[in-house]
Amino acid sequence: MSGDFDAIIVGSGMSGGWVAKELTERGLKVVVLERGRNIDPTTDYRDFDNPWELENGNKIPQEEAERDYAIQSQWGGFNTATKHLWVKDSEHPYTTPKDKPFLWIRGYHVGGRSLMWARQSYRLSDIDFEANKKDGHGVDWPIRYADLAPWYDHVETFAGISGTKEGLPQLPDGQFLKPMGLNCVEQDFANRVAQAFDGRKVIPGRNANLSEVTKIQESLGRGACQFRNYCARGCSFGAYFSSVSATLPAAKQTGLMTLVPNAVVMKVITDPKTGRAAGVQVVDSVTKKPTTYTARMVFLNASAITSAQILLNSANEAAPRGLANSSDQLGRNLMDHLFGISTAAEVSGFEDRTTFGRRPNGLYIPRFRNLDDEGLDFVRGYGYQGSISRKDWERGSNRPGIGGEWKDSLAGPGGWQLGISGFGEMLPYAHNRVTLNPAKKDAWGMPIPHIECEHGENERKMAEKISADAREMCEKLGYKVVHSNAEAAEPGKGIHEMGTVRMGRDPKTSVLNAWNQSHDIPNLFCTDGGAMTSSACQNPSLTYMALSARASAHAVELLQEGKI
Amino acid sequence: MDRRDFLKEAILLVGGAAALTALPGCSWQDAPYSMAADVKKRLERIGEIMIPRTKTFGASDVDAAGFVEKLIANWASKETRGKLLSLIGNPHLVALEKMDDAKATAALSEFDAAAYGKDNKDWKMLKELMMLGYFGSERYQTEIAKFELVPGRYDPCVKLEEEAA
Ligand SMILES: Cc1cc2nc3c(=O)[nH]c(=O)nc-3n(C[C@H](O)[C@H](O)[C@H](O)COP(=O)(O)OP(=O)(O)OC[C@H]3O[C@@H](n4cnc5c(N)ncnc54)[C@H](O)[C@@H]3O)c2cc1C
């Protein structure tokens, strides 16, 4: 047994790193329990490998991919340079109904998926926080934009988000570093979209890459982006935000953090007398040796599906349905973003122009649908992400051609091509749900999650419109559409799982209150994607960060006031 | 000894080496694939006709066929390897060896066009691998594509000649 901590933090990923930083900077002694191995940037990052140095031309052997990475390998960024950051599906199984596939894309190591993310960072607005209340789907968020705005400021300033101020009510501006801007063809696209479509805007993506370095970032050893676009391999310059480059080093500087890798948290244990969280049960991932950690409060940051799994597995006599689950909402309302609805089009002109450097960012088209009542046959909205770039030699591989002339024609850059992909809001449905598989345990003795999740009518209608709107934009501008699909990928592929431990006003219909604190167990918090009451259509991690920082500050106050 | 090792021993004892490939989960025990010299020569011929020397170097100068050979050995599944090897043995492609370059170019061009018409996935894969072996090679990337590992800056709009200069 290992005690003497003020707080236990389960998971060192995007949200757990923030909790560690905020609690330690306020003087709390914390232990971060991380199921994965430690990450050493000097040996674990492959950002200095030239493309030709990567084994098998950066392709994972087919038999290995099929055997060990059946799910992860369906994600385009799974390759030789990044392989070591993805979980082996063969070692970390979960089940789904046969007819409802769910792609659970994960990384188990210090830093979690903050090492792997695409860094797109957008604020939610009151249009999002009020949506459930307005149209009756799910329950009302217990907070509004004004509650989170100062915390968005706080996390953006520390993390470093590049972007432009646009004055859009549906996508509030923030504390931005200078943008990683549009190229000339994207700028032309932006100008023409604004002219042709009322209320539509194309803006530079807002991304967590340091386009310039502030004092705080410098003090953590972070450097400016070198425009290699190898972020997914880990960045030796610490130029993109991750727990490893930013929050964990800040927590470490306080001297108050103990980080324990290879620690698989199995359940939260409670004090039978008070019903409060007393600590967690842990199994060492390598030796399988069990341990118990105790503390004055517990933060769950193991990501949406796993935090629900841990609480469900913590059922006891007083809480037979799972801990903190008097509402029966734990594990329910699983959401992801509609993903994979993409459009590609050839753009003529600008043949004498190109770009220099590899920008780790693209363009963004903020939500423009259902901002007012438009009479559409679905609720909520979507944005698009993508870019316009010149094709490279690979353009030669999908059409006939061989020989000298063909070869020489591939030497320079090819034509410009637009590629955009919609990110659509998914509604919370009680039947989209994570439960424990009663028959199967993983190698550490934890019942594996059973994930049941499907899109509904609203999602299907929205998917069609995402595709139709993208095509319309291209056609109206005279771009030649070469690819277009209107069917969303299986849920999970958006890698934005959320909602399984939702916040709400009413303890009868939600798991957490306005401070990410369990309604049932006051010293238990969850600030990962599980907490989200609705999904909005913006990439969610920035909101997890802001919620984490806000909840941490509040928890410290409660502790100091003797309330927990 | 686990069951798989036991089976393997048993198979070896009775001389049924061919059955080893049918043993589930045994692929790691197979001898590494090594390409026969005649197959390698055909692959090299396909490469030099597909991506010949022009004013710049060609596939044979960067051993693109050697790259494909390595991928067939180390990346391809048994199934993919079988498909690629049978394609390399296709009489139309074998025939390239006996033709002069002009004839071989015309023949491969025809084969390639027909393959796209029929959506011949194996040919598309072989072509992609050969292209990766050539265009992805260190020499191509450094001398022609002017690849920079650390660009250090982003310029959103450059005149093409300036970029080339
Ligand atoms: C390729 C990719 C691109 C993405 N792009 C974007 C983007 O552009 N914008 C955006 O907003 N989001 C993006 N995301 C999503 C983003 O990474 C996640 O939203 C975010 O990391 C979730 O934070 P988290 O703290 O909930 O979970 P994670 O970051 O996944 O961290 C969870 C941690 O908990 C650990 N853990 C799990 N189970 C246990 C246990 N039982 N005991 C102890 N530890 C445990 C894990 O090992 C992990 O380290 C992307 C993700 C991927 C993979």
Q: What does A168-235 look like in DSSP terms, one character per residue?
A: BTTB----EEPP----HHHHHHHHHHHHHSTT---EE--BSB-SS--HHHHHTT-----S---GGG--
* Residues in chain A closer than 8 A to B149 (CB atoms): 48, 50, 228
Write the DSSP string, A295-333. EEEEEE-S-HHHHHHHHHTT--SS-TT-TT-TTS-TT-S
* pLDDT(A414) > 50: yes
Q: Is A183 on the interface with B (CB under 8 A)?
A: yes
Tokens of A360: 């780790």
Q: Report the gap between the CA of A220 and the closest CA in chain B (Å).
A: 20
Check whether B13 has a pLDDT greater than 90.
Answer: no
A518 φ, ψ (degrees, to nearest 5): -60, 135
Instruction: Show residues of chain B in contact with A61, CB under 8 Å.
Output: 74-77
Question: Residues for chain A: how many in total?
Answer: 564
Cross-chain CB nearest to A227 (options B49, B145, B151): B151
**Phi, psi (rounded to 5 degrees) for A542:** -60, -35
Cα(A315)–Cα(A328) distance, integer angstroms: 12
User: Which DSSP state fits B140?
Assistant: I
Contacts with A73 from chain B: Cβ below 8 Å: none
Confidence bin at A4 (pLDDT 50/70/90): confident
Is the model more confident about B18 or about A406? A406
Residue A104: pLDDT above 50? Answer: yes
Instruction: Answer yes or no: do B154 and A357 touch at CB < 8 A.
Output: yes
Phi, psi (rounded to 5 degrees) for B131:
-65, -40
What is residue A3's predicted lDDT score, i.e. its pLDDT? Answer: 67
Calculated CA dihedral for residues A491, A207, A343, A227, nearest 10 degrees: -120
Q: Does residue A298 carry a pLDDT above 70?
A: yes
Structural domain tally of chain B?
Answer: 1
| Residue A182 touches partner B, C-beta closer than 8 Å | yes
Q: Sign (positive/negative) of CA torsion A509, A514, A516, A519?
A: negative
Distances A8 to A11, A282, A552 between C-alpha atoms, Å: 10, 12, 12
Q: Span A312-334, mean pLDDT?
A: 97
Q: Is residue B87 part of a domain?
A: yes
Residues in chain A within 8 Å Cβ distance of B56: 408, 411
> Which range among A121-130, A481-490, B25-34, B142-151 shows the weakest confidence by mean pLDDT?
B25-34
- Mean pLDDT on A512-539: 98
| Minimal CA separation from B1 to chain A, in Å | 22
| Residue A274 in this model has a pLDDT that exceeds 70 | yes
Can you say whether the dihedral through the CA atoms of B82, B86, B89, B93 is positive or negative?
A: negative
Q: Is A235 on the interface with B (CB under 8 A)?
A: no
Answer whether A401 sits within 8 Å of B132, measured CB to CB: no
Report CA A470 to chain centroid distance, whole Å.
Answer: 24
Q: pLDDT band at B5, cuts 50/70/90?
A: very low
Residue B29 has pLDDT above 90, yes or no: no
Ligand 1 pocket, A108 CB below 6 A? Answer: yes
| Residue B81 covered by a domain | yes
**How far apart, in Å, do the first and last CA atoms of chain B sit?**
64
Choose the weakest-confidence range: A95-104, A464-473, B11-20. B11-20
* Average pLDDT of span A321-335: 98
pLDDT, tens only, B55-82: 999 999 999 999 999 999 999 999 999 9
Whether B82 is covered by a domain: the verdict is yes
8 Å CB contact of A59 and B75? yes
A113 in contact with ligand 1, CB cutoff 6 A: yes
Average pLDDT across chain A, whole number: 97
Q: Residue A363 above 90 pLDDT?
A: yes
pLDDT grade, residue B117 (50/70/90)?
Answer: very high
Local confidence band at B3 (pLDDT 50, 70, 90 cut-offs):
very low
Amino acid identity for residue A182 in this structure: L
Question: Which residues 113-152 in chain B show a CB within 8 A of chain A?
Answer: 113, 115-116, 124, 127-129, 131-133, 135-138, 141, 144-145, 147, 149-152
Confidence of residue B162 (pLDDT cuts 50, 70, 90): low
Q: What is the largest CA-CA distance in chain A?
A: 82
A347 close to ligand 1 (CB < 6 Angstrom): no
Which residues, including other chains, have CB under 8 Å from residue A68's CB and lie 6 or more apart? A88, A89, A90, A91
Angle subtended at Cα A194 by Cα A190 and Cα A196, rounded to the nearest 5 degrees: 115
Residue A448 has pLDDT above 90, yes or no: yes
Portion of chain A with pLDDT greater than 70, in percent: 99
Specify whether the CB–CB gap between A26 and A19 falls below 8 A.
no
Q: How close is the nearest chain B Cα to the Cα of A400, in Å?
A: 5
Domain contains B108:
yes
Cα–Cα distance list, B62 to A324, B9, B55, B97, B165 (Å): 63, 42, 15, 20, 24
Question: What are phi and psi for residue A229, nearest 5 degrees?
Answer: 60, 40
**A12 C-beta closer than 6 A to ligand 1:** yes
Lowest-pLDDT choice from A534-538, A552-556, A560-564:
A560-564
Task: Tell me the CA–centroid distance for residue A15 and ligand 1, in Å.
Answer: 8
Q: Which residues of B touch A205 (CB under 8 A)?
A: none
Q: For atom 2 of ligand 1, which residue has the closest CA?
A: A117
User: Is 80 exceeded by the pLDDT of residue A2?
Assistant: no
Dist CA A82 CA A47 (whole Å)? 10
Q: Which pLDDT band, with edges at 50, 70 and 90, does B12 fall under?
A: very low
Nearest to B76 among A62, A359, A396 (CB): A62
Residue nearest to atom 26 of ligand 1 (CA): A303
Contact between chains at A407 and B151 (C-beta distance less than 8 A) = no
Residue A536 has pLDDT above 50, yes or no: yes
Q: How many angstroms separate the CA atoms of A162 and A178, rounded?
A: 5
What is the reported pTM? 0.95
Region A364-388: mean pLDDT is 96
d(CA A534, CA A334): 10
Show the domain range for B96.
37-47+61-144
Q: Which atom of ligand 1 is nearest to the CA of A497?
A: 19
pLDDT computed for residue A505 by the predictor: 98
A184 touches chain B (CB under 8 A): yes
Measured CA to CA, the distance from residue B69 to residue A43 in angstroms comes to: 29
Confidence grade of residue A500 (pLDDT, cut at 50, 70, 90)? very high
Amino acid at A270: T
Using a CB-CB cut-off of 8 Å, the residues of chain A touching B80 are 62
Cβ count near B159 (within 10 Å): 11
Cβ atoms of residues A294 and A278 within 8 Å: yes
Chain mean pLDDT for chain B: 86
Instruction: Provide the 10 A C-beta neighbour count for residue A269.
Output: 18
Task: Tell if the CB–CB gap between A355 and B158 is shorter than 8 Å.
Answer: yes
pLDDT, tens digit (0-9, with 9 covering 90-100), for A415-444: 999 999 999 999 999 999 999 999 999 999
pLDDT in tens, A182-191: 999 999 999 9
- Mark yes or no for CB contact A403/B49 under 8 Å: yes
